[in-house]
C-alpha cells in the first residue's frame, strides 16, 4: 500500500493537524498535549476489523485512567456518532479526519483506498511519539499487547 508522505518516527513530535470530535468541534494537535494518549487509527469504522480494534481499546481504556484513548478514522462525524450509538461506545473519543488533515500530516492517507492506514500511536504528555505501529496488511489487527506494554511504561495499569 502506498502512503502519502513521510511517517513520523518514534522520538518525533506529533505533527500539527486538525480533527473533529462528536460535537463537530475542531480538535488540534495542541489539544492532545498534556496527557499521555493512545491514538488508534482505523481505515473505516464500519468494517469488522476496525470495529474489533476500537472495541479492544474501549475495553482497555478504564484500566489506564491517566491516559486518553482516541480512535481516528476518516468516517464523517455523523457516521462515527451512529457507530458509537450502535456499539454503545462511551470511554474512547472518536475523532473524524474526513478532511484528511491528520492523514496527510502523518503520512497515513492511502490514496488508492481513500482512507487511513491502520496504526497505533502513543504520545507522551509533551506530544512526543513514544510508540508507533503501522499495520502492513490492513485486514489484520494491530499488536494490542505491544501497544499496551508501551503505554504502561508511561502510565500505570489500574485493575478494576
Active-site annotation, residues = 50
SS (H, E, C) the chain: CCCCCCCCCCCCECCCCEEECCCCCEEEHHHHCCCEEEEEECCCCCCHHHHHHHHHHHHHHCCCCCEEEEEEECCCHHHHHHHHHHHCCCCCEEEECCCCHHHHHHCCEECCCCEECCEEEEECCCCEEEEEEECCCCCCCCCHHHHHHHHHCCCCCCCC
What does the block give as the cell for 49? 476489523
Backbone angles phi, psi at 74, to 5 degrees: -95, 20
Amino acid at each position: 500500500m502506498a502512503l502519502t508522505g513521510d511517517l513520523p518516527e518514534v522520538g518525533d513530535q506529533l505533527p500539527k493537524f486538525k480533527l473533529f470530535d462528536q460535537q463537530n468541534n475542531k480538535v488540534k494537535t495542541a489539544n492532545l498535549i498534556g496527557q499521555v494518549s493512545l491514538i488508534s487509527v482505523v481505515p473505516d469504522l464500519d468494517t469488522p476489523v476496525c470495529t474489533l480494534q476500537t472495541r479492544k481499546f474501549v475495553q482497555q481504556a478504564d484500566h489506564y485512567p491517566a491516559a486518553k484513548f482516541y480512535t481516528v478514522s476518516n468516517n464523517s462525524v455523523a457516521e462515527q456518532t451512529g457507530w458509537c450509538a450502535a456499539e454503545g461506545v462511551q470511554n474512547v473519543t472518536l475523532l473524524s479526519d474526513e478532511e484528511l488533515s491528520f492523514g496527510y500530516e502523518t503520512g497515513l492517507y492511502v490514496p488508492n483506498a481513500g482512507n487511513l492506514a491502520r496504526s497505533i500511536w502513543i504520545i507522551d504528555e509533551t506530544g512526543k511519539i513514544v510508540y508507533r505501529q503501522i499495520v502492513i496488511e490492513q485486514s489484520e489487527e494491530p499488536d494490542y499487547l505491544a501497544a499496551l506494554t508501551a503505554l504502561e511504561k508511561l502510565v500505570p495499569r489500574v485493575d478494576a
